[in-house]
Amino acid sequence: MAVLKEVHFLQSREYENVPEGALELYSRRNELRKYVIDLDLTIYFYNKIRQTVLEVEYPLIENQLNEIDHKLLRAENSLTWNSEGTVIRRSVRRMTTIQPQNDIL
């Protein structure tokens, strides 16, 4: 996100030699911010479940947690900020199955 701030600053000063890659990234700033928000929520719910689940509750959700762990591992190894937008949105949407698991507890 620091690159976005720098590009914004340079454009506000009408600096003309901003690298093309930085400009392309800046043009996707709203999309990237949405991804960061989605990922932050996913992390929040995942950590909340892992930290608050009781030992007696764990067997009830163990399969769902293993599935979530598998999805997170796949996303961690395959997604980048340059992945096609629909791929990232679909992956984040799948990972947000964490929230309904949180509702069970």
59 located within any domain? yes
Domain span including residue 97: 29-104
What is the CB neighbour count within 10 angstroms for residue 8?
12
Mean pLDDT of 37-45: 84
- Say how far apart CA 23 and CA 28 lie, in whole Å: 9
pLDDT the model gives residue 95 = 56
Number of domains in the chain: 1
**What is the total residue count of the chain?**
105
pLDDT the model gives residue 19 = 86
- Say how far apart CA 100 and CA 60 lie, in whole Å: 14
Mean pLDDT of 33-37: 84
- The string of pLDDT tens digits covering residues 50-78 is 899 899 999 998 998 888 888 888 878 88
1 located within any domain? no
Mean pLDDT of 5-22: 84
18 located within any domain? no
Q: Does 83 or 76 have the greater pLDDT score?
A: 76
pLDDT the model gives residue 89 = 58
